[in-house]
Structure 1
């Protein structure tokens, strides 16, 4: 990749100001997905704000600037889309999310509902059941000894607890992970990943739309609780299914990719695995550190609502700004030894779940499930080893694995 200082393409209506580094990096290419770290470093070193000529967007890759953009929703809005597509100029591929793709005051009202549905008190009620399910899953896998840690653990465990907690019927759950993958691919540019995902999306979208209706949700689950807020007037009956849809996206993928990242980290850092075995109470932090280290959610966009200056660079109104969360989580300006997985690290402040008013709404569920899996592994498993070819899953927004063959032995 080259670091050049050239003028913006003539097709761009508001050419960036002089003095900004132009990079020919494509953060949505397969080569980038395979190894983003050299590009992350190049972007961080190029300046506090960069310009990516490939997609005509500004970018921030250092922790301080990413954190600042995430926490200034008035200047950097979400309602014009958190992907490359600008909703002010083009029609969204689906009705916009009332959570992810909304700004206050509309966002404040709907977010308050989901915060109550997914409150710490609710997580406390779910805790014992989630822990027991994780132990049962690990026992099942120990009996076999060898398995794929992605399909048979990172996906299988959340799919065994989260849809029940949400109140989904048993039929059709195979659509959930492809649907989440579709949503996050759609945030990217019109590349092959996005086009193929949308082209294949009809059955997944139909399933999700149907399952979000009140009649299809079992009483007492997250979904039914959301619909109950329509009766109290906190949200409208039309908004309730869209909020359930937000949970189907936000509550599953972060967990699947986070658990996969944690198991992959522990298999590659045997000293950290032994530390976790000796002290299973570190499970929550081990999961959190995996989210920082691997950053399952790599990028999000915002759109400027006014002309703004960041790090001496003036960005005009109506410009897309691409935040590199994964790069921020490994910025040496913020973290000591950022490229080392350390389960005792003080990891608070990482942006793996975002930050500010749009921080991942499913984060409490993800953390509970991640802690449950790692606690069960630490208590029951002696060794974790990769025993086959590791395959990456390509997505415009998410970073994770398609396949992680491992072998484990009982403690």
Structure 2
């Protein structure tokens, strides 16, 4: 994994440092941080020869790209695939893979459905479910913090809030994992996910229809916007679909990251126990520190300068959100987990008009779970081999065996 230092070809800007890093390889996922440091230190803009794409890994450049949707568009795909040149694997998201003004209209609907007021009404229910889940796990003492906590808690409340039927919910996590794998290149992870995807896609397409959603849930509220003329009947199921992937995996991976951090840094867990009002920040810092969503692409709409280099129209630019979240130019002691840190400005949920639409849900679930842990658990000990889950976009664990000690 080294910079070749060669001048550029393939239409890439003159003088941009070339790297032979493959950010979608198992080797990269297994030893992320040295490679991310190399990406940052090579320059404000790099060229990745393996996939013939540009990359930005410093916080300033990642933030700038995220906040200039007119120059760095999403409608040509937020994965490696360029929708101007190839057919998308599924109908594009009318939120994630859309630009203004189309994006502005659909985003307004989701912002209304997931407003702070709407979520405030759920806080009591979410907090009670978190307390009950922690009580149940304390009785068991030893369990897998991914399957039994990070996945089980959101799955016990979010599908209900959305208004989904009970049957078939086992398709939700595989579907979301598929979506995030599909943003990557045509590697084994992406191919395997798409090959296995037919039942998950069929389930999701069916559940997003109006007649299958319970009254009063987020899904029904989205469909109600059809009646007021804000969206069409064809757009409503696609917006429900966006919520299914945006509102679940970000939360599962975020909570998994937070528990993993608290288990590894008992001094920080002690601080949280002393001051449970740090619950929200403990979750937020875990999202910065571990960055469950690692990367996203944009496509240039015109010739543009990044970090002193000119690049042409129609170029894919890979934003390394995880690398930006540990950029020492932006964060003091960037490689330490500190629940008292001011985390505002991290790009764990993105930034700008495409900031993760499920972030308020993720934050509410993350905060209520961290608060329950702070009140009820005295110690979290890792008691077995930690296994990573591989995904082209998401970073998290497949297994985290732990033992809880009651407070």
Shorter-chain TM-score range: over 0.9
Match in the other structure for 1:204: 200
1:102-141 matches, within 5 Å, as 102-141=98-137
Match in the other structure for 2:263: 267
Per the TM alignment, residue 8 of structure 1 is displaced from its structure 2 partner at its CA by 4.7
Aligned counterpart for 2:386 among listed residues 374, 385, 390: 390
Instruction: Write out per-residue CA displacement over residues 58-97 of structure 1, whole angstroms, 9 at most, x where no aligned residue.
Output: 0000000000000000000000000000000000000000
Aligned counterpart for 1:355 among listed residues 335, 351, 357: 351
Instruction: Write out per-residue CA displacement over residues 268-314 of structure 1, whole angstroms, 9 at most, x where no aligned residue.
Output: 00000000001111000000000000000000000000000011110
Per the TM alignment, residue 7 of structure 1 is displaced from its structure 2 partner at its CA by 4.6
Aligned length: 407
Aligned counterpart for 1:67 among listed residues 56, 59, 63: 63
Instruction: Name the SS for the 2:24 alignment partner.
Output: coil
Per the TM alignment, residue 360 of structure 1 is displaced from its structure 2 partner at its CA by 0.2
Per the TM alignment, residue 373 of structure 1 is displaced from its structure 2 partner at its CA by 0.7
Match in the other structure for 1:3: 3
How many Å separate the matches in 2 of 1:17 and 1:187? 24
Aligned counterpart for 1:100 among listed residues 73, 96, 99: 96
Instruction: Name the SS for the 2:174 alignment partner.
Output: helix
How many Å separate the matches in 1 of 2:92 and 2:64? 24
Q: Which runs of 5+ in 2 are unaligned?
A: none
Q: CA RMSD in A?
A: 0.6
How many Å separate the matches in 2 of 1:362 and 1:331? 25
Determine if contact 2:22/2:48 at 8 Å carries over to the other structure: yes
Match in the other structure for 2:286: 290
Match in the other structure for 2:185: 189
Per the TM alignment, residue 17 of structure 1 is displaced from its structure 2 partner at its CA by 2.6
1:135-284 matches, within 5 Å, as 135-284=131-280
Determine if contact 1:8/1:53 at 8 Å carries over to the other structure: no
Pairing 1:306–2:271 present:
no
Determine if contact 2:8/2:16 at 8 Å carries over to the other structure: no
Q: Which runs of 5+ in 1 are unaligned?
A: none
Instruction: Name the SS for the 2:289 alignment partner.
Output: helix
Instruction: Name the SS for the 1:51 alignment partner.
Output: strand
Match in the other structure for 2:364: 368
Q: TM-score, normalised by structure 2?
A: 0.99
Per the TM alignment, residue 3 of structure 1 is displaced from its structure 2 partner at its CA by 1.4
Per the TM alignment, residue 35 of structure 1 is displaced from its structure 2 partner at its CA by 1.4
Per the TM alignment, residue 19 of structure 1 is displaced from its structure 2 partner at its CA by 1.3
Determine if contact 2:8/2:15 at 8 Å carries over to the other structure: no
Determine if contact 1:251/1:366 at 8 Å carries over to the other structure: yes
How many Å separate the matches in 2 of 1:405 and 1:234? 47
Stretches of 4+ moved more than 3 A in 1?
Answer: none
Q: TM-score, normalised by structure 1?
A: 0.98
Per the TM alignment, residue 2 of structure 1 is displaced from its structure 2 partner at its CA by 1.6
Per the TM alignment, residue 24 of structure 1 is displaced from its structure 2 partner at its CA by 0.2
Instruction: Name the SS for the 2:85 alignment partner.
Output: coil
How many Å separate the matches in 2 of 1:331 and 1:37? 11
Instruction: Name the SS for the 2:14 alignment partner.
Output: coil
Instruction: Name the SS for the 2:388 alignment partner.
Output: strand
Aligned counterpart for 1:339 among listed residues 335, 341, 353: 335
Instruction: Write out per-residue CA displacement over residues 236-263 of structure 1, whole angstroms, 9 at most, x where no aligned residue.
Output: 0000000000000000000000000000
Instruction: Name the SS for the 2:314 alignment partner.
Output: coil
Determine if contact 1:169/1:217 at 8 Å carries over to the other structure: yes
How many Å separate the matches in 2 of 1:262 and 1:349? 18
